[in-house]
Amino acid sequence: MRSILWNGLLVFLSYYANNLVHEMGHLVTGRLFGLPMHKVFIALSPARSQPAQPTFSLFGVAFYIGISSLVSFAPVNEYRLKRATPRARFCMNLAGPLCGALFAIGWILFFWNWTQGIIGALWVLIHLENLQPKSPEQGGPNDGYGVAEAWREIKVAKANP
């Protein structure tokens, strides 16, 4: 019984930790490219509503954490994101899934048991699936869509100097 409760708690914590690492990957990369990013939302409603107060703040970033659904994102001003270089958008969209997948691999290695290994493997697969482009018509855009769009712009810029 104790093992079941322990593994259940770890699954719950892995959700928040993995999403936090994923969104921090976006945030840190965006800041490295000069994009002003000051908020991280984890597990809020699908309408992306914002609670009145952040759960906590760290290094000038407000973290809003809730438990109502499976949504997480690090918002950036769309106007500034469109003005960012394709390289910056490529790196920023790729950073979240890569950081999340690396965290999940670390989770597997740290907790080396079947239950947590399966949970970690599922997180790796979720992050890899997030890199598969989904257009707005397919329920996106997701990180993969942003990576693909930025990559297309990089290729066009190289072809037409």
**pLDDT tens digits along 27-57:** 888 888 888 777 777 764 444 555 557 677 7
- Chain-centre distance for alpha carbon 57: 18
Beta carbons within 10 angstroms of residue 6's beta carbon? 12
Is residue 41 domain-resident? no
Is residue 68 domain-resident? no
Is residue 131 domain-resident? yes
Q: With beta carbons less than 8 A apart as the criterion, state whether 30 and 105 touch.
A: no
98 confidence band (pLDDT: 50, 70, 90): very high
Amino acid at 38: H
Min mean pLDDT across 65-74, 82-91, 136-145 is at 65-74
Is residue 109 domain-resident? yes
**Domain total in the chain:** 1
Q: What is the mean pLDDT of residues 125-135?
A: 82
Sort strands 61-65 and 39-42 into parallel, antiparallel or unpaired.
Answer: parallel
